[in-house]
Amino acid sequence: MHLFAVDGLPEIAAGDDLAALIDARVEFEDGDVLCVASTVVSKAEGRSYDYEDFEAGEWSRDIAARLESITGDEKDPRFAQAVIEESEELIVEAPFILAVTKFGHITVNAGIDRSNVPDGDLLLLPEDPSASAQRLSDALGVAVVVTDTSGRPFRYGQRGVAVGWAGMPASRDWRGEHDRDGRELGVTVQSVVDELAGAANLVAGEGDGGTPAVIVRDWEFGEHDGSENLFRDEEDDIVREALRDWEF
């Protein structure tokens, strides 16, 4: 397996044909997987906004005031408003906003980003990252994973995760296969798109590298059972359930 960044991509703006810009810089081979940072997918899809585009309501003003008193930093209620509008649910409102996006991904601030956003104050995640991945996959003829940098519970540090994917299953099902002692695996469903996203995000970096697109080469999903589920269903998510009742 071999990963490399696509060099020379320009600053991406609303309306850019991201597939064409990548295609012009890569000789794709059969079986390649393109991992692309959600930031540039969002920019191409015109998901960049200003604070003025959001009108704070009572709820967002309340959240901003709480966050301000906890952190001591000034908080613009219109940011909280953007998070509310991008979310299905806010699981936690303080000391940070943990949101369920409309497409099912759970992350801080609904993934709304303020880094690498020259044309606006805020960059929202793509509306439907798997649909974005599918469009890129159709145009390029390879599997596509749309990534974002995200925190995780229990551990310090952020890492790349898959927020959308197309052209390959999300997970590889190992159940029914055997370990080295012949014991049958009973539970392991490996989130392959997250593992690719993590590796690609390491190559892409987090700063001014200008390398949002990473090619995974000489790796294949293989003839295995797969699953499309990555975002845990509400009814078997005990962590989400517990956090709803938690008060800071």
Binding site for ligand GDP (CB under 6 A): 9-12, 37-40, 43, 113, 115-116, 148-149, 204-212
CA distance to 58, 196, 211, per residue, from 12 (Å):
35, 23, 11
Longest distance between any two alpha carbons in the chain, whole Å: 61
Those residues whose C-beta lies under 8 Å from the C-beta of residue 58, and which sit 6 or more positions away, are: none
State both tokens at 162: 């898959």
Whether the CA torsion 204, 13, 124, 41 is positive or negative: it is: negative
* 56 or 130: CB nearest ligand GDP: 130
Q: Which of residues 160-199 bind Mn ion (CB under 5 A)?
A: none
* Other C-beta atoms lying within 10 Å of the C-beta of residue 80: 27
* 56 or 123: CB nearest ligand GDP: 123
Q: Is 126 annotated as a binding residue?
A: no
Minimum Å gap between C-beta 247 and Mn ion is 28
Q: Return the one option of Mn ion, ligand GDP, none that residue 48 interacts with (CB less than 5 to 8 A, by type).
A: none
* 130 or 244: CB nearest Mn ion: 130
Minimum Å gap between C-beta 208 and Mn ion is 12
Q: Is 116 annotated as a binding residue?
A: yes
CA 207 to chain centre: 16
DSSP string, 39-60: HHHHHHTT-EE-GGG----HHH
Q: Return the one option of ligand GDP, Mn ion, none that residue 205 interacts with (CB less than 5 to 8 A, by type).
A: ligand GDP
Q: How far apart are CA 95 and CA 248, in angstroms?
A: 7
Residue pair 39/119 in contact (Cβ under 8 Å)? The answer is no
Minimum Å gap between C-beta 157 and ligand GDP is 14
Minimum Å gap between C-beta 118 and ligand GDP is 8
Q: Is 206 annotated as a binding residue?
A: yes
Tell me: does residue 113 bind Mn ion (CB under 5 A): yes
Q: Is 220 annotated as a binding residue?
A: no
**123 three-class SS:** strand
Q: Return the one option of Mn ion, ligand GDP, none that residue 40 interacts with (CB less than 5 to 8 A, by type).
A: ligand GDP
* 177 or 206: CB nearest ligand GDP: 206
Residue pair 168/193 in contact (Cβ under 8 Å)? The answer is yes
Q: Is 39 annotated as a binding residue?
A: yes
Residue ranges of the binding site for a divalent metal cation:
113, 148-149, 206
